[in-house]
Structure formats: structure tokens, C-alpha cells
A and B are shown apart, each in its own frame.
Chain A
Amino acid sequence: AQTVTQSQPEMSVQEAETVTLSCTYDTSESDYYLFWYKQPPSRQMILVIRQEAYKQQNATENRFSVNFQKAAKSFSLKISDSQLGDAAMYFCAYRDESPGTYKYIFGTGTRLKVLA
């Protein structure tokens, strides 16, 4: 079964600095999608960035970028120029596409604190 692992329960970063959140996953598939979600104190889940395993180029969305290492099954999220509004829970997710069905598998999350 596919699994997603986030080994950092909590991280802290100074405002304006850069932080990297780790995510590893396990799959036997060759093409799949990976996602990072942000959950602020409101608890609304917000998509941050997505990556297709078939593409070699790392995805980027403004201050957010990923370091996708397919062979290592690693999908880390880098947040540059951290802002107070980045403080939230961050979840890594894998889209599981078993025959005839599809679902999203999430990691346990990393709580990011941004220090002023």
C-alpha cells in the first residue's frame, strides 16, 4: 500500500528566512501526482503546490517550490522569504490510482511556526 511520511512534527523559521519541510512516500507506480496542502488556524485546507512524477522539473509557485527526487521518493517543500501568514500545518499528499478508483493519501503533517 502507498504511504506518505512526514518526519518533522514541528518546524520553526525566522521571518524572511527559508525553511524546507520533508516528505517521503512509497509507491510502485511510475507516474503519479504529489501535492502540498496548507492548513491555517481556520482549518481550511488550501493547495500550495502540485508535482507530476513524470516531469523532471521541480514545480514552483511564487515563494513555494519543491525538491522532487523520484528515485529517492522524496518530495520536500521549500518556503522562501517566510512570512507570518505562512504559519500553519502543512500536509504532503499522494494521489493513489488503483484500478477503477482513486483517492488521496496524506502524511501526518508538519506544524510550521514563523518567528517575528
Chain B
Amino acid sequence: KQEVTQIPAALSVPEGENLVLNCSFTDSAIYNLQWFRQDPGKGLTSLLLIQSSQREQTSGRLNASLDKSSGRSTLYIAASQPGDSATYLCAVGIYGNNRLAFGKGNQVVVIP
């Protein structure tokens, strides 16, 4: 069974610092990896999608890397802002049953 772990579970950083969020998964047989943002009581907003053949994706201040062989992905958020405060979820697409396996999330607070 695919297990997805996100470390740290929660973190606080001062505004302007770079954020580094880690995601690890136990089975490298994935077809893609998605990073989502979730605000309290809200749905999921897709941030970045990395296909299994790719090593990284970038969108504005966000950059996500994927190392399938080691079962790891990292989300970098440059120059954090208070508006970046949210929970960030990592999800991997599992071959065979077409489902996403999610981690529990990284809860981020950016302090003004």
C-alpha cells in the first residue's frame, strides 16, 4: 500500500523567508505527483502537477521537484508572504487503480 508522508506537519516562518516542504512516498510506481493548497474549511487548489517522466515544475514563486527513485518531492515557495499561510497537500497517482494517495499535509503560517 502506498504511504505518503509530509514533514514537517506544521511550521511557522517570518515573511520573506523561503519555504521548503517535503513529501515522501513508499512506492516509486507513480504516474504523477500533485501539490495542492487548502485553506481552512475549503476545497483543494492544484498548485503544480509533475508527471512521472519529469523532474520539476515551476509556477511563479513555486517550484516542485520529483525524485522517483528515492520516493521524494520537495515544494519550494520563494519569498513567503502572509497569504501563503495554508495547508499544503502532496498526492501521488497510483498505477493500476487510478487513485490519488494523499499525505496529511504541511500546515504553514507565515508571520508578518
Q: Verify that A and B bind, or say they do not.
A: no
**B: which residues have CB within 8 A of A?**
none
The interface of chain A, by Cβ under 8 A from chain B, is none
